[in-house]
């Protein structure tokens, strides 16, 4: 009995000592989970989220987890589950997670939630998005300088903040550069229908547009193909599209969510994460996340210089589109 008690005390002390040593080590390992709307092989938004979280795991040594194909009714439960299991940061991958995040965040004040393309910042809900207007304005300026007909096209799938911001700034810049030119806008209501993307672009060309900016993920390929066939100009999105469309793409708006989320979680590992809106513009704060691509050789040097000056004025804050 005595021995037992002594042994008991000893082991307890050991366990406590071990616990004390283990606890801070545990706290230092950040746990990050991401909840995504689509599957991780969609070659687009959710795949980018998955690749982003994998990079965070491998390069930052963070514990990560992910859920794919989370439907709207399950969003709150999926996020709450990660918070309950002790994940410090739970990411909702897409603006549609905003309401679920707001709802869950109130119950888990210790957890930080990040909503990609989110619109509302609260006590423990941060957001991450891109300064779409900067990209739209830069491309609109190029379109205005390169258009011979004074008409440009814009094709979107659905009216969400991403596309309305882009179309507004693109139109403003185009009209300013051409002194009142016209931008034809078409909405296809489908992110996948390539054939319709192509017809929409052909339609705009037949109405006199000579430069078109397609923004519907998968379906944009159809539009670019129409532009290529008719030797008209277009713009790329998300990556430097001139590599695939050397005769068609004048410039690309590169918005890389993988690099952006990496930057934000890196801040968290350095204990510098603030609950606020992280906005990635052209070259600022990180050119890896948001930048313009390669100019087509047909763009004259003075236009390149004008766009570079424009970007510089956006960065020093003297101009915000």
Partner 1 sequence: MIDILTDPTQLADFLATSLRLSVPIIFAALGGVLSERSGVFNIGLEGMLLAGCFGAAVGAYFFGTPFAGVAVGMFFGLLGALILAYLSITLGVSQIVSGIAINMLMLGLTAFLSRIVFEGQANTMTLSGFKPIAIPLLSQIPVLGPVFFNQDLLVYVMYAMVAGGLWLMYRTRWGLNVRAVGENPRAVDTAGISVVGLRYACVLTSGAIAGLGGCYLVLSQIFLFSEHMSAGKGFIALAAVILGRWNPLGALLACLLFGVFDALQLRLQFANPEVPYQAFVILPYAVSILALVGLVGKPTPPAAVGIPYKREAK
Which residues contact partner 1 (rule: CB under 8 A)? 41, 43, 159, 184-190, 192-196, 198-200, 202-204, 206-207, 218-219, 221-222, 225, 244
**296: which DSSP letter?**
P
Q: Tell me whether residue 158 or residue 320 sits nearer to partner 1 (CB atom).
A: 158
Q: Tell me whether residue 26 or residue 159 sits nearer to partner 1 (CB atom).
A: 159
Closest CA to 236 of 177, 150, 295, 149: 295
Q: Tell me whether residue 220 or residue 311 sits nearer to partner 1 (CB atom).
A: 220
Cα 253 from Cα 234, distance rounded (Å): 12
Cα 35 from Cα 108, distance rounded (Å): 16
At residue 90, what are phi and psi to the nearest 5 degrees?
A: -120, 125
Q: Tell me whether residue 59 or residue 192 sits nearer to partner 1 (CB atom).
A: 192
CB of 111 to partner 1, least distance (A): 34
Cα 260 from Cα 168, distance rounded (Å): 24
Q: Tell me whether residue 12 or residue 207 sits nearer to partner 1 (CB atom).
A: 207
In whole angstroms, how far apart are CA 130 and each of 89, 110, 166, 260, 285?
A: 20, 27, 11, 9, 11
Q: Tell me whether residue 46 or residue 134 sits nearer to partner 1 (CB atom).
A: 46
CB of 190 to partner 1, least distance (A): 6
Tokens at 316, concatenated: 């020093």
CB of 78 to partner 1, least distance (A): 22
CB of 166 to partner 1, least distance (A): 15
| Whether the Cβ atoms of residue 218 and residue 44 lie closer than 8 Å to each other | yes
Burial class (CB within 10 angstroms; exposed 0-12, middle 13-18, buried 19+) of 253: buried
Q: Is 234 left (phi over 0), alpha (psi -120 to 50) or beta?
A: beta
Rg from Cα positions in the chain: 24
CB of 123 to partner 1, least distance (A): 36
| DSSP helix/strand/coil, 76 | helix
Cα 40 from Cα 212, distance rounded (Å): 30
CB of 200 to partner 1, least distance (A): 6
CB of 199 to partner 1, least distance (A): 5
CB of 197 to partner 1, least distance (A): 9
| Whether the Cβ atoms of residue 226 and residue 196 lie closer than 8 Å to each other | no
Q: Tell me whether residue 67 or residue 218 sits nearer to partner 1 (CB atom).
A: 218
Q: Tell me whether residue 207 or residue 231 sits nearer to partner 1 (CB atom).
A: 207
Cβ partners under 8 Å of residue 187, min gap 6: 155, 156, 157, 158, 159
């Amino acid at each position: 009995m005595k021995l037992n008690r002594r042994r008991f005390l000893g082991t307890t002390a050991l366990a406590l000592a071990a616990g004390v040593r283990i606890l801070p080590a545990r706290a230092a390992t950040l746990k990050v989970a991401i909840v995504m709307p689509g599957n991780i092989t969609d070659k687009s938004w959710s795949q980018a989220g998955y690749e982003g979280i994998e990079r965070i795991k491998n390069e930052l040594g963070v514990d990560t987890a992910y859920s794919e194909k989370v439907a709207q009714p399950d969003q709150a439960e999926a996020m709450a589950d990660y918070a309950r299991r002790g994940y410090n940061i739970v990411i909702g991958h897409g603006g549609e997670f905003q309401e679920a995040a707001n709802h869950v965040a109130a119950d888990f004040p210790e957890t930080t939630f990040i909503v990609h393309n989110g619109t509302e910042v609260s006590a423990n809900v941060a957001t991450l998005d891109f300064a779409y207007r900067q990209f739209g304005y830069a491309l609109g300026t190029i379109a205005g300088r390169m258009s011979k007909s004074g008409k440009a096209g814009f094709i979107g799938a659905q009216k969400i903040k991403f596309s309305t911001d882009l179309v507004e700034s693109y139109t403003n810049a185009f009209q300013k550069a051409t002194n009142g030119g016209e931008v034809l806008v078409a909405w296809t209501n489908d992110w996948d229908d390539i054939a319709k993307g192509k017809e929409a672009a052909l339609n705009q060309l037949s109405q006199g547009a000579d430069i078109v900016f397609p923004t519907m993920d998968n379906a944009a390929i159809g539009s670019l193909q129409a532009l290529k066939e008719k030797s008209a100009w277009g713009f790329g999105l998300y990556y430097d599209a001139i590599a695939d469309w050397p005769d068609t793409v004048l410039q690309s708006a590169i918005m890389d969510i993988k690099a952006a989320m990496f930057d934000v979680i890196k801040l968290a590992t350095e204990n510098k994460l603030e609950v606020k809106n992280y906005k990635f513009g052209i070259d600022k704060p990180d050119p890896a996340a948001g930048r313009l691509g390669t100019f087509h050789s047909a763009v004259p040097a003075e236009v390149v210089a004008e766009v570079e000056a424009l970007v510089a004025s956006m960065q020093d804050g003297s101009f915000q589109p």
